[in-house]
Chains A and B, each alone.
Chain A
Amino acid sequence: MRAVTLAHETDWQGWRRATRALVLAEVAADQIIWSVGGENDLLAESAAFADAAGTFNVPRAVVELSETAIQAREPERFAWLYRLVLRAHRGERHLLDDAADPEVQRVQRLAQAVRRDTHKMRAFLRFRTVQEDGAQRYVAWFEPSHFIVEANAPFFVRRFATMTWSILTPYRSAHWNGTELSFGPGAQPADVPDDDALEAYWRAYFSSIFNPARLKVGAMQSEMPKKYWRNLPEAVAIPDLIRSASGRTEQMLEQDMRPPKAMPLAPLRARAAQAGTEAKGSPLAELAERAAECRNCPLWEPATQVVFGEGPGGARLMLIGEQPGDQEDLVGRPFVGPAGQLLDRALEEAEIDRQTVYVTNAVKHFKFVPRGKRRIHAKPDTVEIVACSPWLNAERETVKPGLLVLLGATAARAVLGRAVTISRERGERITMPGGQAAFVTVHPSFLLRLPDEESKSREYRAFVADLRRAASIIAEIDAAA
């Protein structure tokens, strides 16, 4: 039998040293008797095990688990942890993954209890203030269930580094003087000042934030067990709050219902929806404002907002896309997402100034299917295209462009009123009934979906060429006029 006496309850270094030596000597777990020295002296060292010759590697997870579980108030913990290290050393490198292993489990339970206690200490510890040498010092009394003060103190340092404070517990105290953390012996509740000026305020807050109509005492106590109450300044209010809750609620329910007062609406200035580059009050801005309330089809409901067209009232070119996408829906402006950025690049390359062009969509609300944290684009169907067509028609009548550039099949269908095969009709000037000129090309999002770089750049060049062609068509039209 080997006897190991550790210096104090959290003598992690001593346990580690002893464990290293004993594991290297292949000593079985049941051959060791672990105990903690009587004086619980922080500075004492367990002298029996000087650093043993030789080293071995223990999986990081086992070390971390040991560091946590050793804080548990469980006399057998040193032996239980030793057993895990020995098994890891003998080849069970992944033993912690087997959550159903009883030896792993009992240690995991200790660690869990320590983590919970650590968390509760961070939550339920309360500082009171004392004036000392003209400065304020913060002092707290806390009764942890496990030996967690040493490992938990750095949390309070990170949070309250610019204050000076002491945390007193029955077995240990921790002190921070603004630069250094030190530990001392345990203390008494009487070592903490009686009251703090702010506690009455905290109690007032605690009592007022409670909703008596939702009394759930069990839920409160499972998270804040009674053992913590005696050190929580707000807890003295709890019995009264519980007692008066039902009376307060009945009172609310019995109170005569007040009829809603007829009152004028508050004087709130309505913020006009972003109406493109047109000044407020222009025909296009008015159109956009009306469209914002559109309920012609069910697409309005899940969408954020109507995305109306944007551009100068007298634009010669009108670019018409399918529908706004995710980004456009959030921002409320057409062609600002990835496809819009590609369009901007292509326009620039085709020497067309986007500021001179009117840009819009056949359908003005984003159609999508929510999928977790994303929205998947859904193609608008004919019903929606038709429902939205009055807005597109109104835009065309107001802007009176010389040429409509139809980006993709949906826009082509919406304007030409028939199914269009883009590859067959792209790049041609189409004269519509009534004389209006139109021009079909791909939608820039088509370029984004292409799988390989080669076809991407080929199709992009073709798109830019189409835009150039559109620019020359409008030049021809204007020259003829």
Chain B
Amino acid sequence: MELIEKLRILADAAKYDASCASSGTEKRTSLGKADGVGSSEGMGICHAYAPDGRCISLLKILLTNSCIFDCLYCINRRSSNVQRARFTVDEIVTLTLGFYRRNCIEGLFLSSGIIRDPDYTMEQVVRVARTLRETHGFRGYIHLKTIPDADPALLAEAGRYADRLSINVELPSESSLSRLAPEKNAGSIRRSMGRLRARIDESRAERRAPRFAPAGQSTQVIVGADATPDGAILRMSANLYGSYGLRRVYYSAFSPIPEASSALPPMRAPLLREHRLYQADWLMRFYGFEITELAANSDAMLDLDTDPKLAWALANRHRFPVDVNRATREELLRVPGFGTKAVDRILASRRFRSLRMGDLGRLRIPLNKVTPFVVTPDHRPRNLDREGLAARLAPSPVQGSLFG
């Protein structure tokens, strides 16, 4: 098979993984180095955007799409009729370096179907990273998908070469996992994440400890392939962030795949639901929201029509209006339309002046969103208790997806 054909197949097979981040790793430069290539400066770079709006930062491919597992939601499962291909280690190395030198990518995100057994597969994946780093002096970004159950020694080696490691929890509940991915085991996924965190912590705490995944670990969960409600998904995320120090939990709306199994829901999950989960996730991590404020219990669903911050504000009108010139940081963060950066700017500039609505406009804050919730010397909202506020603030219907 031609290399370009393999690339088509193995990129297509990798596209259901949402993560493409290349940020937050250690600094590396090629300046003053005799050989090798690449740098990393902390900030991720998206070298292109696909028409699905997703960032293309890394060469995201599978080593092979052959797999001994039969996870029903996965296009690469054993019982799928999809065309199979497998890269050699050298082919991946050549493509990665070739694209990198042309400034198409920040690095490589390598994953693989399980062939033979977890150790064999992990060993192949690690070999690619080792060849890039040790033979070619590659200083770009490497993200390796880790295979639960693989030998801890292979895991240690993976962490030495990779910037980021990830293990996908795949589904938000253990029972869904055993129903849809019978060979996967929630316990062993958790244990592997625990092991990764222990090693990441160790390498951060002690300078002499071996390098281990400086950009941390992340995971992905598929939303809408089972019946788990948003409240339970967010609780799972909160637990994962707290337990394993994850950099990110990626939510991936279940998307139709060719060769779908009839055990899956006949409908795709709306992309808007994925978006709402990301918003709620952000509010919990950066805006000081408690999970119960966004989703009262495990059975709760986020409102698709209203973003979770606005929904909270509408349900807690007694907490508004907020005085832009007096409110605490915590109070300002809860105003719909105020982002973390806007709040920082408000706090800095109100030491110099009493902020008016015009000032907020100049700070590029969306005034139509914030007016009902804030007080300034030249503005006092009148319609906070009026019926229909929600309808007025609701965005005109967005085309979240063409068929959802």
Q: Does B51 contact A (CB under 8 A)?
A: yes
A373–B242 contact, CB under 8 A?
A: yes
Chain B's nearest CB lies how many Å from the CB of A261?
4
Contact A371 B348 (CB under 8 A): no
B385 interfacial contact with A, CB 8 Å? no
Are the CB atoms of A198 and B48 closer together than 8 Å?
A: no
The answer on a CB contact under 8 Å between B262 and A258 is yes
Q: In the complex, A217→B362 CA distance in Å?
A: 29
Q: Is A446 an interface residue (CB 8 A)?
A: no
User: 1/0 per residue B26-45: CB within 8 Å of A?
Assistant: 00011111111111010101
Interface size on B, residues (CB 8 A): 102
**Which residue among A208, A253, A268, A292 has the maximum number of chain B CB atoms within 10 Å of its CB?**
A208
With both beta carbons as reference points, the residue of chain B lying nearest to A253 in the complex is identified as B256
Which one of A160, A255, A258, A263 lies within 8 Å of B101 (CB-CB)?
A: A160
What residue of chain A has the Cβ atom nearest to residue B80's Cβ?
A: A258
Report how far A105 CA is from B355 CA in the complex, Å. 14
Known contacts A211-B255, A260-B261, A331-B195; A238 and B51 CB within 8 A of each other: yes
Contact call A140/B98, Cβ cutoff below 8 A: no
Distance (whole angstroms) from the CB of A331 to the closest CB of chain B: 6
Encode contact with A along B367-404: 1 for CB under 8 Å, 0 otherwise: 00000000000000000000000000000000001110
Please, how many angstroms separate the alpha-carbon atoms of A207 and B50 in the complex?
8
Please judge, given known A-B contacts A266-B68, A330-B197, whether A211 and B16 are in contact too, CB under 8 Å. Answer: yes
Cβ of A424 under 8 Å from chain B: no
Q: Are A122 and B49 in contact (CB under 8 A)?
A: no
Q: Quick check: A161 and B45 within 8 Å, CB to CB? A: no
List B contacts of A232 (CB < 8 A): 48
Which residue in B15, B39, B43, B195 is a CB contact (below 8 Å) of A211?
B15
Give the Cβ gap from A19 to chain B, nearest Cβ, in Å.
24
B95 A234 Cβ-Cβ under 8 A: no
A302 and B243 form a contact (CB under 8 A)? yes
Q: Does B318 contact A (CB under 8 A)?
A: no
Complex CA distance for A196 and B355, rounded to whole angstroms: 55
With A100-B363, A101-B349, A211-B52 in contact, is A304–B261 under 8 Å at CB? no
- Complex Cα distance, B11 from A224, in Å, reads 21
Taking A209-B56, A301-B174 as contacts, is the C-beta distance between A331 and B194 under 8 angstroms?
Answer: yes
**Interface flags, A272-309, vs B, CB<8A=1, else 0:** 00000000000000000000100000000111110000
Residues of A within 8 A of B103 (CB): 122, 125-127, 140, 160
Query: Is the Cβ of A99 less than 8 Å from the Cβ of B48?
Result: no
Which stretch, B163-171, B184-192, B300-308, touches the partner chain A?
B184-192
With a 10 A CB-CB cut-off, give which of A105, A129, A201, A267 has the most chain B CB atoms.
A201
How far apart are the CA atoms of A325 and B220 in the complex, in Å?
26
The answer to whether B53 touches A220 (Cβ under 8 A) is yes
Please name the residue on chain B nearest to A243 by beta carbon.
B51
A220 contacts B51, CB within 8 Å?
yes
A223 interface contact, C-beta 8 A:
yes
Contacts of A248-276 to chain B: CB distance below 8 A: 249-250, 252-253, 255, 257-261, 263, 265-269, 271
Most buried by A among B49, B99, B258, B363: B49
> Which of A97, A138, A211, A232: most chain B CB closer than 10 A?
A211
Q: Which of B314-356 touch A at CB < 8 Å?
A: 345, 348-349, 351-353, 355
A149 to chain B, nearest CB (A): 15
Report yes or no: A201 in contact with B52, Cβ–Cβ below 8 A.
no
Q: From residue A407, how far is it (CB to closest CB) to chain B in Å?
A: 23
Question: Which of A214, A255, A330, A371 is within 8 Å of B52, CB to CB?
Answer: A214
Evaluate whether A210 and B33 lie within 8 angstroms (CB atoms) in the complex, with A97-B352, A100-B353, A257-B261 already known: no
| Interface flags, B66-78, vs A, CB<8A=1, else 0 | 0011101000001
A100 touches B7 (CB 8 A): no
Q: Which of B30, B68, B118, B263 has its CB near the most chain A CB atoms (within 10 A)?
A: B30
* B117 in contact (CB, < 8 A): yes
CB B349 to nearest CB in A, in angstroms, measures 4
Do A201 and B33 have beta carbons less than 8 Å apart?
A: no
**Given the complex of chains A and B, what is the CA–CA distance between A242 and B402 in angstroms?**
12
* Prevailing SS type, chain A contact patch: mixed
Which of A100, A204, A224, A305 lies in contact with B49, CB distance below 8 A?
A: A224
Given known contacts A266-B78, A330-B195, A198 and B99 CB-to-CB distance under 8 angstroms: yes
Cβ contacts under 8 Å, A375 to chain B = 242-243
Report which residue of A128, A160, A216 has the largest number of chain B beta carbons within 10 angstroms of its beta carbon.
A216
A210-B15, A220-B53 are contacts. A271–B183 as well, Cβ < 8 Å? Answer: no
Cα(A242)–Cα(B345), bound, Å: 39
With a cutoff of 8 Å between Cβ atoms, the chain B residues found around residue A257 in the complex are 260-262, 264, 266
A68 to chain B, nearest CB (A): 15
Which residues of chain A are near B70, meaning CB under 8 Å? 260-261, 263, 266
**Chain A interface size range:** 35 or more
Alpha-carbon gap, A306 to B200, bound state (A): 22
**Is there an interface contact between A265 and B243, defined as CB atoms closer than 8 Å?**
no
How far apart are A161's CB and chain B's nearest CB, in angstroms? 4
Set of chain A residues within 8 Å of B101, measured between Cβ atoms: 127, 138, 160, 163
B residues less than 8 Å from A101 (CB atoms): 349, 352
Decide if B255 touches A206 in the complex (CB within 8 Å): no
Q: How far is the CA of A11 from the CA of B359 in the complex (A)?
A: 33
Chain A residue contacts of B271, Cβ below 8 A: 214, 216
Decide yes or no: A215 and B51 within 8 Å by CB, A205-B11, A253-B256 being known contacts.
yes
A61 to chain B, nearest CB (A): 12
The answer to whether B194 touches A330 (Cβ under 8 A) is yes
Query: Complex: how many Å from CA A158 to CA B241?
Result: 34
Residues on B with C-beta less than 8 A from A198 are 98-99, 102
In the complex, chain A residues whose CB is within 8 Å of the CB of B259: 255, 258
Residues on A with beta carbons closer than 8 Å to the beta carbon of B183: 265-266, 268
**Assuming A220-B50, A331-B194, A370-B241, is B33 touching A162 (CB within 8 A)?**
yes
Given known pairs A202-B102, A332-B191, the reply for A255 and B50 (CB within 8 Å) is: no
Judge whether A322 is part of the interface by a CB distance below 8 angstroms. no
- Chain B residues near A223 (CB-CB < 8 A): 46, 49, 53, 55
Q: Which of A224, A241, A252, A268 contacts B258 (CB 8 A)?
A: A252
A203 to chain B, nearest CB (A): 10
User: In the complex, what residue of chain B is closest to A97 when comparing beta carbons?
Assistant: B348
The yes or no answer to B8 lying at the interface (CB within 8 A) is yes
Asked if A466 lies at the interface with its beta carbon under 8 angstroms from chain B, I say: no
B156 within 8 A of A: no
Is B110 close to A, CB under 8 A? Answer: no
Bound CA–CA A214/B38 (angstroms): 32
In the complex the two chains form, what is the Cα distance from A327 to B52 in whole Å?
Answer: 41
A263 to chain B, nearest CB (A): 6
Beyond A208-B7, A216-B53, 12 additional contacts (C-beta under 8 Å) are A98-B353, A162-B34, A201-B7, A201-B99, A211-B16, A250-B403, A252-B256, A255-B260, A259-B262, A261-B79, A292-B187, A372-B285
Pairs A–B under 8 Å by Cβ, sample size 19: A97-B349, A99-B345, A99-B348, A122-B103, A127-B103, A138-B102, A158-B39, A162-B34, A162-B35, A162-B37, A205-B99, A217-B53, A223-B55, A224-B49, A245-B51, A266-B69, A330-B244, A332-B191, A372-B285
Of all A-B residue pairs in the complex, the 8 with the closest CB atoms, nearest first, are A219-B53, A370-B242, A216-B53, A330-B194, A208-B11, A257-B262, A100-B359, A266-B68
